[in-house]
Structure 1
Amino acid sequence: MKHCVLLLAAALSLPLTLRAQNELSNFTATGRGGVATTFATDYQAIGINPANLGRVGGAKVAFTIGEFGVGAGSQSLERRQLNRLLFQRKETLTPDGKRELARAFTSDNALNLNADATTLAVAVQLPVVGGVAVSHRVRTTAHVGLNQNAAEIAFLGRNAPIYTSASAGNVPLVTEALAGTDLQFALLNEFNLAWGTRLIDQSLFQLSAGAGYRYVQGVGIIDIRVQPGSLRAYTAMSPVFDIDYGSVMNNPGFNFRARADGLQPVGRGHGFDLGLAVEAGKALRLGLALTDLGHMTWEGNLLTANDQKLKRLNSEGIGSYNFIREVADIFASGTDSLFQYTPGQERRASLPTKLRTGVGVRVSEFFEAGLDVTVPLNTVAGNLPTTFVGVGVDYKPTSWVRLSSGLSGGAGYGLSVPLGFTITNPIYEIGISTRDVAGLLTSKNPYLSVAAGFLRFKLGGKTE
């Protein structure tokens, strides 16, 4: 698994593409804290509300190359600890540092990472048909929430108190010792198609409907959720992660995928979006959408685990700030894994389905405000841990500058104050934004995020 961190670092720094928020690769939405259900237009409506493609009066053609966004946050780590986990991964942990991190990671929201990138997207308005958009996007998500035993095992290994204080014949079950532990990672490669059309077009009332389809390649997944009496644990990782599977390689039931170039998938699936958009009068906009309906089928390098006696680690736990790689070795499928995994042929899992609702007020071409509520409809890896609520505004002090801000909360993060800056003219936009200005600066509850787009073009219409 020695290249796992390299892939994650690439996702955090390059226009490829951790709780999942589809709009993070949309720099205009990021500046409003993710409020997008009534704002998003053309290809940026993909994965948010495809019905917005049915709006009329905007650009006839819109396209982009390389819109991307990354974010990392915690509600238990301090800023200095998060910085080291992200930027000083080669640094070795001292015994005091291991104990400090074991305490900090004892939290149901110890670490949330997400990165999205739209590598290429195009939207076209066609007579009669409506708006059609296509895109390619890569999404990476990760979430870490550990109970006290899991955090101590992760950082102290065989010296964790649960091992040193337990008698030889009193070994607890995983579901007893690790209840409340969640560990998820997902890397998805998507090809999207969306369509929206106007159904009712009256002077004071317009109704649009839309639908989207995506073909999803699963490059990797780790989904471990432990509750009292219940353990869900499975992994399927592409050969690009270079995992040492040890003796499981000799099991005839293990569907091993050998190393190949590129992001070789180990799973495939199909996703769907449905949406409605209403424009009432000259100012009010309403939006409703179901996104990421569908399933993934994981089949390559698939391992699963059931409830079992807690294994004792041979190692002394995580020894550096290279957390993502080392925690995966312990909890996922490394040679010194905490679980006894068995090979599987196939596992079907739902996509991270969400219900999005939004209300927007367009006061003028210079000012628009909106409210979004996004509710996760399942608990699979990559979905929001809690409901997202946000209020966002766009303001144009001049015809060529747009400022965005607002307030947002939930989705595994605390209260955030976003900020976005966009330079725009009738054919071209360039912008940069952050999900939380305070999170960039504060020591407690740090949230480091940035989204940017430098090649967004809108042709044949007036810039909104």
Structure 2
Amino acid sequence: MKSFLRALLLPALALGSQAAQAQNELSNFTATGRGGVATTFAGDYQAIGINPANLARVGSPKVAFTIGQFGVGAASQSLTRSQLNQFIFHPDEKLSQADKLALAASFTSANALNANIDVTTFGLSVSLPVIGSIAISNQQRISTHVGLNRNAAELLFLGYNAPIITQNFNADGTPKNPATVPLVSEALAGTELQMAWLNEFNVAYGVRVLDLPKVQLMAGAGYRYIEGVGVVDVRVNGGKVEAYGSMSPLFDINYGKLASNPQFNLRQRDSGLQPVGKGNGFDLGLSAELGKVVRLGLAVTDLGKMTWEGNLVTANDQKLKRLRSAGVGSYNFIKEATELFAAGSDSLFQYQPGTKRTADLPTKLRAGAGVRISEYFEAGVDVTLPLNEVAGNLSAPFVGVGVDFKPVKWIRLSSGATAGAGYNVGIPLGITLTSKVYEAGISTRDVAGLISKDNPYVSVAMGFLRFKIGQTQ
């Protein structure tokens, strides 16, 4: 599993910034048990990044805090269960020629791999009389999306033996006919490889703006200061190539001759995460409770921009060139992928140094409605729409129905049904041990995905240090 976690972090060695199916509820084990349905459910510090208005909801804890909640998920609409398991549990196993051919076929998909790691290192919310509720947290959000056309998949796993290479180049690397060598935009059309790693420091505020016996209306806002640890975006669509990357020295990339270019903002290896970008983000939200039964929520999250400066490289369209490697040699394919798609010596692209690049944050619109019959049963429906195409956003709308049910006071069961955002229909499941002051739980976004042979989805979220004190009126 350790190697798999590294594999989710290191695709940034290979790419630049665009959507990667991020769901920042993955570190919230209660929301994960509902498949991410959270717009009307999430309260206290868990409302950060979802709907800050819920901080002021009636019945929220006066104080809530946590340390070390996290979630990990990986899904594919084209890999088999066996192939995904190999990447997770046996990454160092060597690939045979038959394995390479099978993986090249499996990775020919718009959703060959979607993966996320979300960690809430700490979270705290406090409800203050009259003035409202405030929350703070730190979150690590990592998201990866791999979608390849046939040529890109064959180049990745077969290298210079890929059909498009043997058709256009001699064994010594010279073109058979320079006039017919295709452009990258032609050869890799439909290919997307994206990754983003953000370190966020959040603060959010919620207040009741209307407080009547049967109607409460809450409003909230959130701000986050963001450190960009890495971003990668390679998009080949519509006859155009957009490729850039900005990676922390943590990734130890060898930039070769680029490192000596005076226009290249080289960051040296030091300690810590060593961010290479920074940004500011904002969330806005409204929520309402009608008759203490019906809950409504509406929020826009991740408004703002990121600016990437350190180790920034960019590439545009160009003629395809012959690779020197025979492609990926093991299930731990990150190093070879790096050489293929990043600024390595065997890259498909000729990268140029950059000084600064600004990109929008992955802005989303969230809408939800739910009913809370009692403390023992709550149900809700969520719709989340991506409002732009940038690193960390959803590739398509997300919809879901979620349910919380307490068969006894100390156990809460969560489930539902979800679809969209690059994933198939999922049946989530979560189990939470709960009391008036303490919660601990474990959940998955899709029970069937854990065992199904096709369309596998491996996900788990857990937290064991969530505490709640008091209750607002």
Task: Give the TM bin, normalised by the shorter chain.
Answer: over 0.9
Matches within 5 A, 1:177-256: 177-256=187-266
Matched, 1:402 2:402: no
Residues 1:337 and 2:347 aligned together: yes
**1:293 aligns to what?**
303
**Contact 1:269 1:296 survives alignment (8 Å):** yes
CA contact 2:4–2:89 (8 Å) conserved in 1: no
1:375 alignment counterpart:
385
- Is this contact kept in 2: 1:133–1:194, CA < 8 A? yes
Q: Which residue is 1:164 aligned to?
A: 166
* 1:445 aligned counterpart, secondary structure: coil
CA distance in 2, matches of 1:426, 1:128: 24
Question: Does structure 2 retain, via aligned residues, the 8 Å contact 1:356–1:372?
Answer: yes
Q: In the aligned structure 1, how far is the partner of 2:322 from the partner of 2:31?
A: 46
* Runs of 4+ displaced beyond 3 Å: 3-11
Q: Find 2:294's aligned residue among 284, 289, 295.
A: 284
Residue number among 256, 269, 272 corresponding to 2:282 in the alignment: 272
For residue 5 of structure 1, report the CA deviation from its aligned partner: 7.2
* Deviations, residues 130-163 of structure 1 (Å, cap 9, x unaligned): 1100000101110000000100111111111111
Number of the residue aligned with 2:46: 44
1:6, 1:460 → 2: CA distance? 37
Cα distance in 2 between the residues matched to 1:279 and 1:55? 8
The 3 A distance-change label for structure 1 pair 10 and 454 is farther
Counterpart-to-counterpart distance in 2, 1:64 and 1:330: 41
2:30 to 28, 31, 42: 28
SS at 2:362's partner residue?
coil
Find the aligned partners of 1:413 and 1:328 in 2 and give their Cα distance.
26
| 1:199-244 Cα distance to aligned partner (Å, 9 max, x none) | 0011111110000000000001111111132111000111110111
Amino acid across the alignment from 1:242: D
8 A contact 2:282–2:301 mirrored in 1: yes
**Offset at residue 324 of structure 1 (A):** 3.2
Q: For residues 306-325 of structure 1, what are the structure 2 equivalents within 5 Å?
A: 306-325=316-335
Q: What TM-score does the superposition give when structure 1 sets the normalisation length?
A: 0.96
Paired residues in the alignment total 455
- Equivalent residue, structure 2, for 1:443: 453
Aligned 8 A contact 1:176 1:228 in 2: no
Amino acid at match of 1:168: N
TM, length-normalised to structure 2: 0.94
Deviation string for 1:375-430 (max 9, x for gaps)? Answer: 01111121111100000000001111100000001111000000000010000000
Amino acid across the alignment from 2:408: T
Distance 2:88 2:343 in 1: 23
Distance 1:395 1:243 in 2: 49
CA positional deviation for 1:126: 0.5
Shift of 1:6: 6.9
Question: RMSD in angstroms over aligned alpha carbons?
Answer: 1.6
Q: Deviations over 1:333-359 (max 9, x none)?
A: 222111000000000011111000000
The answer for unaligned runs of 5 or more in structure 1 is 12-17
Find 2:155's aligned residue among 148, 153, 156. Answer: 153
Could you tell me how far 1:99 is from its partner in structure 2?
Answer: 0.7
Q: Which amino acid aligns with 2:262?
A: P
Aligned residue identity for 1:151: A
Asked whether 1:411 is paired with 2:450, we answer no
